[in-house]
Structure 1
């Protein structure tokens, strides 16, 4: 055991060096390098791989129609291992990854329409779904998420991630759960996985926290959850689409994926040719950006399902999602249950004034789809303070971009009435008809299926006089702020409540948010600072002397 542990440490230490030495872009996936090292150094692994692969291929050949039409569910546990607070990703970010897996493995992704016509007949609904476990190996209720602080800055670059005594987290039974370890990985590697046949202690997938999920801390261009989609393919016995090495002499062994000379990066234009055929670079098992991979093939579907039936069949009777689990929710979320047991809840009442130096605050997360300007902490302005959350719309050069500040998930099981109040400040840049938007949305379903309950823009968003300034604006005092109070009682239909603030850009000015208060009190009407006469003056100014009643 000691020799094997040392051997694995050697490959982890050398992995980044091996990758950077190649005469091409760094490999974002470390699976091939680790797999090849194990083949070269562990005769038992090489023997197991050969036997398991033969078994899977034999099953694939003799059971082509077996199980088709039946959706297979894989229980998932996510071990969050963090050294910096930014690596301690939110539950919402984890749920977004489960949603992404279900979206892509069930062929529910909207961008499936971008698959070229020559490959459309090969697109597969893999009929595999994923649920965050609701039952742990001891039969106890769980959220399917574990969290642990580690003193190691790059835990994912060593084998310590699966040793509890070394700051990692021991794997749950690999025959019953898919283990994800989410932590920091060095050397430009996004993630790596182990093929069937790996040791039980580390059989699973390791993903850097910056590439796990679709919201929060994820980074472009791997921000659509497809790093994990790719690695699950390896875990279910799929090689890279070009095979184990560069050239036309090897491929992935899947009949309906064309031979490809090498990997693709970025967003290649279609078509691209090598090895005498058009390359399927938009396949999840290539290296193109998340926004440019859209599909698995029918042959890959058969390979992955065969791996489950012939080697990972314990997943099918696991009991890890005994109560239905949590499939992430939202579009393309699959059909599994949405048990509230999977939500880590925050008690009420709740106040956030952004006075703490950590941003986003504990329990909050940020959805920043374009990885440009987004919500951040401002230390120059606040209501009755000098701190607030704000978004720099003044320098945001895109129109129609949404950035969301997502609050913790609240326990409302005992609430009979509820309200939210907050202060905000905003001033236009111009009077040309543009205006940014502020919106409040809520969900009763573990941060899924949000509905809008309040939205304002234009003259109704402005909080001060004069109404515009042709420069980046900062509130100068309390008179520049408005307060909004909303009755949440009509939305107490479940046991949980999630609230998020959405900013939508429109080339205008900075928006500030402060003093969010979620309370059991019934809200009273908040009188707006502006009189009707002031609003009419503003309307006259905006619309050329016309008032639209």
Structure 2
């Protein structure tokens, strides 16, 4: 169950800062979109080809699906998109925030994927660091381990995924169930959206590749930010590049428009007309983990509004 504290203030920290700097100099400022890429033993012609196959994130939506979702949100009086895109940044705002309980399910096959308690806590610590400026925090309340080769290889919408979640899921709509596995097809992760809970509560949660947790083998996606990205979906965010250069884009006006997903860490990339360079450091883009460190003020507002409508107390 979510526990709300007093109102918190979102300060103008990294979440509201420039999108053109590389944090701590931890990696090269390069565009890796067209670079050859090998992932889990499979060779792809380019990083973009790998992502287009759906492997970077299994939570992609079509424009028709997004249009239907936004109409529902409008009917329910939830966060409304601004009329046009802006250039990012923003000052301090008062947010609701709260503590989200985490039920962490380690699904493994023998010794493969068998994370330790310390590794699980490291992943939760990354979530807390990433969301620190938003007022949201995460408390690990339970961890379980399941040795099941079929579940370990689950894919989005599969029988294995349904079986695993039906057996393991705990809590209510405002509790995060996080499953680590080795998804078939090379997925890094996927998540359900808040507005889907009513229709299929057992499916609710986030699935991540075990090797994406801090120190895992999924270089350059092994600092724990896959979970951060997927939890963003679980809280109601779209990809920052959603809608391309259209006026509405990702339905959040302080993430500058972006024609397509970014890979690597292409500092100063600017693919659309209008204010602001591409939001490559935003957790909802596709850049490498070392390049991601930002949520914006209005992404935070959207998460607050959507959570309050579709998760809190449900």
TM-score (norm. length: structure 1)? 0.42
Distance 1:196 1:30, change over 3 A: same
Match of 1:195 in 2: 193
Distance 1:127 1:307, change over 3 A: same
Distance 1:47 1:87, change over 3 A: same
| Contact 2:96–2:304 under 8 Å retained in 1 | no
Structure with bigger strand share is: 1
2:51 matched to 1:30? Answer: no
Match of 1:313 in 2: 312
Aligned residues: 251
- Secondary structure at the aligned position of 2:78 is classed as helix
Distance 1:53 1:279, change over 3 A: same
Match of 1:262 in 2: 260
Distance (Å, rounded) in 2 between the aligned partners of 1:60 and 1:251: 9
Distance (Å, rounded) in 2 between the aligned partners of 1:243 and 1:249: 11
Distance (Å, rounded) in 2 between the aligned partners of 1:251 and 1:306: 19
| Contact 1:242–1:250 under 8 Å retained in 2 | no
Match of 2:19 in 1: none
| Contact 1:242–1:259 under 8 Å retained in 2 | yes
2:269 matched to 1:272? Answer: yes
Q: How much has 1:241 moved relative to structure 2?
A: 0.5
Distance (Å, rounded) in 2 between the aligned partners of 1:241 and 1:259: 8
Q: How much has 1:47 moved relative to structure 2?
A: 6.4
- Secondary structure at the aligned position of 1:314 is classed as coil
Could you say which structure has the larger radius of gyration?
A: 1
| Contact 2:106–2:143 under 8 Å retained in 1 | yes
Distance (Å, rounded) in 1 between the aligned partners of 2:235 and 2:77: 10
Pick aligned residue for 1:151 from 149, 152, 159? 149
Q: How much has 1:154 moved relative to structure 2?
A: 1.3
Distance 1:295 1:79, change over 3 A: same
Structure 2 gap segments, 5+ residues each: 1-43, 83-92
| Contact 1:81–1:168 under 8 Å retained in 2 | no
Distance (Å, rounded) in 2 between the aligned partners of 1:60 and 1:68: 19
Deviation string for 1:298-322 (max 9, x for gaps)? 111111111122221127xxxxxxx
- 1:97-112 equivalences under 5 Å are 97-106=123-132
- 1:378-397 equivalences under 5 Å are none
Deviation string for 1:363-391 (max 9, x for gaps)? xxxxxxxxxxxxxxxxxxxxxxxxxxxxx
Q: How much has 1:197 moved relative to structure 2?
A: 2.2
Q: How much has 1:96 moved relative to structure 2?
A: 0.5
Match of 1:161 in 2: 161
Match of 2:72 in 1: 51
Q: Which moved more, 1:97-106 or 1:170-179?
A: 170-179
Q: How much has 1:163 moved relative to structure 2?
A: 1.5
Higher relative contact order (CA closer than 8 Å, sequence separation 6+): 2
Deviation string for 1:399-450 (max 9, x for gaps)? xxxxxxxxxxxxxxxxxxxxxxxxxxxxxxxxxxxxxxxxxxxxxxxxxxxx
RMSD: 3.1
- 1:452-471 equivalences under 5 Å are none
Match of 1:129 in 2: 137
Distance 1:179 1:280, change over 3 A: same
| Contact 1:162–1:171 under 8 Å retained in 2 | no
Match of 1:233 in 2: 232
| Contact 1:71–1:127 under 8 Å retained in 2 | yes
Distance (Å, rounded) in 2 between the aligned partners of 1:85 and 1:39: 39
Structure 1 gap segments, 5+ residues each: 1-19, 41-45, 62-66, 107-124, 134-143, 316-549
Distance 1:169 1:50, change over 3 A: farther
